Structure 1
Amino acid sequence: MLVPASPIVLRGKVCPLGDKGHLSGIAKTPTEGPWHFTRVGLAGDEQADRKSHGGPEKAVHHYAQDHYDAWRADIGSHPLLNSPGAFGENISTTGWTEHTVHIGDIIRFGGAVLQVSQGRQPCWKLNVRFARSDVAYQTQSSGRTGWYYRVLEEGNAAPGDQLILEDRPQPDWPLSRLITLLYRDKDRYGDLQEMAAIPELAEGWRRLATKRVQARSVEDWTPRLNGPL
């Protein structure tokens, strides 16, 4: 896998979002390095809902700037798409997407070592951020979700450091395959059972796959995609 262009690193503070003032840390802006990565995320970055965002399995969010043109084609010009950070990402690059990144990939970024732990399950706060009712659903249905890292080794990265793929323990599991199973081909139970057995996959996603296999039904996405009434 090619090394992407020099990453842009972003962080943000918790602040009111939208007309109803829901607290969120989704508004992130580029920040100058060096940057320190801890087990629970990028130092100085904040999340309002620590149950759904952040923590060891969702420590760092990466979103491909490659997708921004597709978003412009889908929803038209939007000021958030003029610069990185529209989707609350901590790392923005060109050159890596859900089709080229695999679950369990081990990535060195300066002195920090990251591992791809899961994709993103988009939530309704994206709708509020873009002032549209369909962005969370389109993020999910398009497969342009981004992904999360766990931090295997805490450390610093500096401007000029590249993201370097050091190991790929799951060559058969690009993120696009997982995303397809969860959101498109939702009843491929044999594949879902294989997915549930991937040791590098975050426990929450393994548990989700197991429940779907056992229930032979798809979970209700409405609360996550549409939010509170």
Structure 2
Amino acid sequence: MMPEVFAICTGLPKPFNGAEMSAIDKRPVEGPVTIRSFGIEGDMVADTKHHGGPDMAVHLYPHDHYAEWDAWLGGHDLLSAPAAFGENLMVDGLAEDGVHIGDRFRLGEALLEISQPRQPCWKIEHRFGRKGMVARIVKRHNCGWYFRVLEEGSAKAGDMLQRVETGHDQWTVARLFASLYDPAERADRGQLEEIANLERLCVPWREKARKALES
């Protein structure tokens, strides 16, 4: 069964931590939206050094993780609303161990391709007001991922996210993330060489693998 996108969310930069701005606070959009190569129209990033660009055009964090987070946090108001983790697409039935780098999905008129896992940062912990979330993501590999946009087009809540092509089938998002971030599952030399040569993986993550090889 194809997963349904039950909310498409966008946000604009707002004060977040003193002078720091962030667009992690996203809200559902009513009706159709246009998905461009730079992202969803009406969605912006504040930190253009670490976020945004063609390889981080659309973010998905699996809604399947919300229940576990709710139990771990002892309940949290953010988890009762869409886009608690700043994601653009709210979807059930997809997780990091079931999708691969380079998988392609049709959403409405748009064609999306998984380009990289999401690297967790301090903003998640600041948003929830709880330390330890980044360490838990690293350990459990529940990082979410980004899409690049291969074909622009319109989409809306209620559309199906249809996988139309499998990418690097040996490299799920979970395995790729674990190989570069989880000390317990650190990639060996052969795996790092594989990662460095994954054509559909974004360049910064391939470079991270190359640097690890050099060191």
Same fold (TM over 0.5): yes
| Contact 1:103–1:200, Cα closer than 8 Å, also in 2 | yes
Could you report, residue by residue, the CA deviation over 1:38-85 in whole angstroms, capped at 9, with x for unpaired residues? 111010001100111111000000011000111122221111111221
The letter for the 2-side match of 1:81 is: L
**2:30 aligned with 1:32, yes or no?**
yes
Correspondence 1:77-156 to 2 at 5 A? 77-156=75-154
Q: Distance in 2 between matches of 1:173 and 1:187?
A: 12
The letter for the 2-side match of 1:31 is: V
What residue is the counterpart of 2:189 in the other structure? 189
Q: Distance in 2 between matches of 1:75 and 1:183?
A: 23
* Deviation of 1:141 (Å): 2.3
What residue is the counterpart of 1:162 in the other structure? 160
4+ residue segments displaced more than 3 Å: none
The letter for the 2-side match of 1:45 is: D
The letter for the 1-side match of 2:16 is: L
What residue is the counterpart of 1:225 in the other structure? none
The letter for the 1-side match of 2:166 is: R
What residue is the counterpart of 2:4 in the other structure? 5
* Deviation of 1:187 (Å): 4.3
Q: Distance in 2 between matches of 1:194 and 1:137?
A: 26
Task: Give the direction of change, closer, same or farther, for the CA distance of 1:187–1:159 in structure 2 (3 Å limit).
Answer: closer
Could you report, residue by residue, the CA deviation over 1:138-174 in whole angstroms, capped at 9, with x for unpaired residues? 2222211100000001111134321111111322111
Q: Distance in 1 between matches of 2:26 and 2:212?
A: 34
The letter for the 2-side match of 1:74 is: W
What residue is the counterpart of 2:20 in the other structure? 22
The letter for the 1-side match of 2:188 is: R
What residue is the counterpart of 1:227 in the other structure? none
Q: Distance in 2 between matches of 1:80 and 1:135?
A: 14
CA RMSD of aligned residues (A): 1.3
| Contact 2:125–2:133, Cα closer than 8 Å, also in 1 | yes
* Deviation of 1:7 (Å): 3.4
Could you report, residue by residue, the CA deviation over 1:176-196 in whole angstroms, capped at 9, with x for unpaired residues? 110120122124221111111
What residue is the counterpart of 1:226 in the other structure? none
The letter for the 2-side match of 1:91 is: L
TM-score by length of 2: 0.95
| Contact 2:8–2:157, Cα closer than 8 Å, also in 1 | no
Q: Distance in 2 between matches of 1:51 and 1:197?
A: 24
Q: Distance in 1 between matches of 2:96 and 2:103?
A: 12
Q: Distance in 2 between matches of 1:144 and 1:21?
A: 29
* Deviation of 1:214 (Å): 1.2
The letter for the 2-side match of 1:4 is: P
| Contact 2:5–2:89, Cα closer than 8 Å, also in 1 | no
Moved more, 178-187 or 141-150: 178-187
* Deviation of 1:213 (Å): 1.4
Q: Distance in 2 between matches of 1:64 and 1:118?
A: 15
Residue ranges of structure 1 left out of the alignment (5+ in a row): 216-229
Instruction: Give the match's secondary structure for 2:97.
Output: coil
TM-score by length of 1: 0.89
